[in-house]
Structure 1
């Protein structure tokens, strides 16, 4: 589930985009004791806020990391936790608006003793605009965003030219935008959007297909594994900032 206030006016120079069409819907739900613990007890240590303003990520993580990875819409956090645990040398920053997912991620990170993970419970457009400086991200991950399959809802899709251009400004030169979806029509939409923006190179190169095989570093989620058993496809796209 992604967490972006989709604003067609968002641009690399914008600092406070006007409220636009949201690509998410906040839903109320019960919190488990573990999720509540994450939000109440762990958040003060690992949680970040828009009110903190522009971040010095070396200060946030307390070190000069070899790589910094941002994941937008991490859901319940399983993939992000697995990556952070498998790669302690990399700093991970998750952005998600849904409280249960944020709480679960924080609770699990604490139980595993992870120190290379920080979290925003905020709208991603505002985090990118207001909190992360230009050229500060090595990789931005967007895994299984809401496909909004009905045509009348396509405007709610997170993958739109203005947002992709904003991501480019936050990526380092040579940094990577990695997207994945299990909806073929959304995968095609992603390709079309990427063809409309500048400053990216498809990692697939001149291959017949614009998609890449799932990299080993992207964990196979339970949902994805179940889909594969049922014959459902999954499409990964990787683009490198080249200007």
Structure 2
């Protein structure tokens, strides 16, 4: 007999609201600024390599992205990148940190629906100030029983969060757009993992779906989440 499902956790960026689109727009601007030095495809490959190298130093988020763009610009120009280009990259990052929040379709309805019957958490990674800003602007903040902004999403991360906020990972579900960060490690911790794909998922978040995992599910969008939760067994919200 499966464990009772008491807790639903959501990822934030590109699960509840748009995020990657702003990175793509800035990448296009970056490529235009460096067009005299290298081809756009090669530049973006170098940028992704820099982001991968720098994750351990800067973590996830806009600030690390901007620093990786600056590092890449220095490399591809043999340290001849104009100061004006660096200034424009910094300005682009500042614009990203101020962009308005736009919820994805069905996001509010999905959170509201499961919040009636389950404890609801937000588990997101990235820069603390930026994630707090986005949550405040989203209008969803009061719906969550707990918010966790973490530097990495691993099996240990989910295990610790679900131990703190509910009765363990076996009684929890993680919903997100990233197979690598939201689904696989959550399932490894013992929870359900629900993949809701986004068309612009970051390259470093790509992974193969764990099709053989009994607790893996996939939805085309968040409109089907409440029905899925109900099918897995309705729950009464646990006492806090």
Give the TM-score category using the shorter length. Answer: 0.3 to 0.5
- Tell me the TM-score normalized by structure 1: 0.37
Bigger relative contact order (CA 8 A; separation at least 6): 2
TM-score, scaled relative to structure 2: 0.37
- Larger CA Rg, structure 1 vs 2: 2
More strand per residue: 1 or 2? 1
